[in-house]
Amino acid sequence: MARRRLDEAIRVSRVLSNSAVNEENAGQDFTQLCIQQHVSLSKDIHSVYSVSFSPDAPDLAVGFGNGAVQIVDAKSGSMTCELFPGHRTHLPVTALNYHPCKSQILMTVGADGIVTVYNLVSKNAVHHVTEEKNEINALDFCLDGSVFATAGKDRNIRLYDSKTVQLVHMFEAPNFMTVDDLTVTSGHSRRIFALKFHPVECHIFLTGGWDNSVKIWDRRVARAARSVINGPHICGPAIDILDNKILTGSWVAHDALQLWDFRNCQLEKNINFPGNINHGEFLYAAQFCNHHTVIAGGSGTCSAAAINVTTDEVLGEISLTNKPVQTVDSIQDGQLIAVAGIGGNLHTATLC
């Protein structure tokens, strides 16, 4: 009991601390994206498929196309450890996330259908779970870290107990072979590429994929989605939510970056992404940096752009030199930003 109370006190303290930082920065007028460095890593030739900042440190976890996982000091650009070396026969680490309340725990998932839990103190894998016949594309923890969810090729959404890594519930995808009862709130009809928990509501999460929809789920409801946004064609980690606003990045030529109202699922605005007139926008990744700024990138411009969502002003771009952006992450209201993709090309930046 005492341990649970201590964990809860730490969690609440972090939430309050983050809220204070948000309030302090809410009025700041960031005018540009300042690139810190191009980080060169030993596995760059295998391309970077996923990045994730530690919740309370400048550590950045990086997942590669050959299954390798490395930890980088985002400020210095140096690799601090390699959790898994990878191999040419291994499949990509498609998503990874630190436990929100236990920064010594890192969770990774891959196209091989394997969920791996690493202890960053011992630098060892402490749990493995295999989702048979699935390619996992997305992973996220709920607010308090008690549950994490995965989704991917088989369209099923699995919820796991974070402590035991045991499956606690599965939102099953419609079975078209048995003419399942299909409604607008049924599961996804094509593979899922993004999953994101609500930053305040512990039970709410969003998913999106190839079926041109974002679905809002409540894990207390056994089967159907709570509501649906029609339109976004999600092909990577391109869903985020903040202040009752949902950000989506679609792999389409125009109007790829969009802002939606979480409460009524209506489009609030198309954000002016600086797409190439000949090659379009085609976004793979999108995320809020803070209440006013987003970062997004993909294969159209082969760059990531930071944009003020109120004014549509482009604060800066990070170019990957004709290589698609596949993943982005940010922390501390944009004081640390990571952008990476094909051929490695990991860059760190900050809003200033």
Q: What is the pLDDT of residues 125-147, one digit of tens each?
A: 999 999 999 999 999 999 999 99
Domain topology for 33-351: Methylamine Dehydrogenase; Chain H (2.130.10)
CA torsion sign for 216, 259, 193, 64 is: negative
Q: Which residues are paired to 148 by β-bridges?
A: 141, 160
pLDDT given at position 278: 83
Nearest to 147 by CA among 95, 96, 100, 215: 100
Place of tokens 């969920």: 115
Copy the structure tokens of residue 212. 């041109």
**Measured distance CA(311)–CA(206) in Å, rounded:** 26
Per-residue confidence band for 84, with pLDDT thresholds at 50, 70 and 90: very high
**Measured distance CA(75)–CA(37) in Å, rounded:** 9
Copy the structure tokens of residue 294. 């987003």
Nearest to 194 by CA among 152, 156, 162: 152
CA torsion sign for 116, 348, 16, 27 is: negative
Residue % of the chain over a pLDDT of 90 = 82
- In the predicted model, is pLDDT for residue 19 greater than 70? no
Over range 241-254, report the average pLDDT. 97
Other CB atoms within 10 Å distance of the CB of residue 17: 11
Q: What is the pLDDT of residues 290-342, one digit of tens each?
A: 999 999 999 999 999 999 999 999 999 999 989 999 999 999 999 999 999 99
SS3 string, the chain, reads CHHHHHHHHHHHHHHHHHHHHHHHHHCCCCCCEEEEEEECCCCHHHCEEEEEECCCCCEEEEEECCCCEEEEECCCCCEEEEEECCCCCCCCEEEEEECCCCCCEEEEEECCCEEEEEECCCCEEEEEEECCCCCEEEEEECCCCCEEEEEECCCCEEEEECCCCCEEEEECCCCHHHCCCCCCCCCCCCCEEEEEECCCCCCEEEEEECCCEEEEEECCCCCCCCEEEECCCCCCCCEEEECCEEEEECCCCCCCEEEEECCCCCEEEECCCCCECCCECCEEEEEECCCCEEEEEECCCCEEEEEECCCCCEEEEEECCCCCEEEEEEEHHHCEEEEEECCEEEEEEEEC
Other CB atoms within 10 Å distance of the CB of residue 220: 9
**Measured distance CA(76)–CA(222) in Å, rounded:** 46
**Measured distance CA(101)–CA(9) in Å, rounded:** 11
- In the predicted model, is pLDDT for residue 245 greater than 80? yes
Whether residue 307 contacts residue 294, with contact meaning beta carbons closer than 8 Å, is answered with: yes
Q: Which long-range contacts (CB under 8 A, 24 or more apart) does 18-21 make?
A: 21/332, 21/333
* 116: exposed, middle or buried (Cβ count in 10 Å: 0-12, 13-18, 19+): buried
Task: Spell out the domain ranges in the chain.
Answer: 33-351
Nearest to 137 by CA among 34, 210, 59: 210
Over range 144-162, report the average pLDDT. 98
**Measured distance CA(254)–CA(277) in Å, rounded:** 9
> Hey, what amino acid is at 71?
I
pLDDT given at position 177: 72
Q: Which residues are paired to 344 by β-bridges?
A: 341
Per-residue confidence band for 277, with pLDDT thresholds at 50, 70 and 90: confident
Whether residue 257 contacts residue 273, with contact meaning beta carbons closer than 8 Å, is answered with: yes
This prediction has a pTM of: 0.91
